[in-house]
Amino acid sequence: MGETRRRVFKLVKLLVFLIVVALIGVAGFAYLGDLSPERAERSVPVSLDAR
């Protein structure tokens, strides 16, 4: 019974560690990542088949 508890505790610790690392990664990406689009005026001709 004791060995099973140790394995479960190790798995829980690993899961918590991975969640913390993922949260740090997401926060770092949100803070450092520049995802704003480049703005440029664009004029595209469109032909409409209106009868």
pLDDT at 29: 87
Count of structural domains, the chain:
1
**27 is a domain residue:** yes
**5 is a domain residue:** yes
**51 is a domain residue:** no
**40 is a domain residue:** no
Domain encompassing residue 17: 1-33
pLDDT at 38: 82
In angstroms, the CA 45 to CA 15 distance is: 54
pLDDT at 1: 65
Q: What is the DSSP string of 1-51?
A: -HHHHHHHHHHHHHHHHHHHHHHHHHHHHHHH---PPPP------------
Q: For 46, phi and psi rounded to 5 degrees?
A: -125, 130
pLDDT-derived band at 14 (thresholds 50, 70, 90) equals very high
Query: What are 18-43's pLDDT values in tens digits?
Result: 999 999 999 998 888 776 778 899 99
Judged against a pLDDT cut of 80, whether residue 48 lies above it is answered with: yes
**38 is a domain residue:** no
Residue 15 CA from chain centroid, whole number = 17
**6 is a domain residue:** yes
**46 is a domain residue:** no
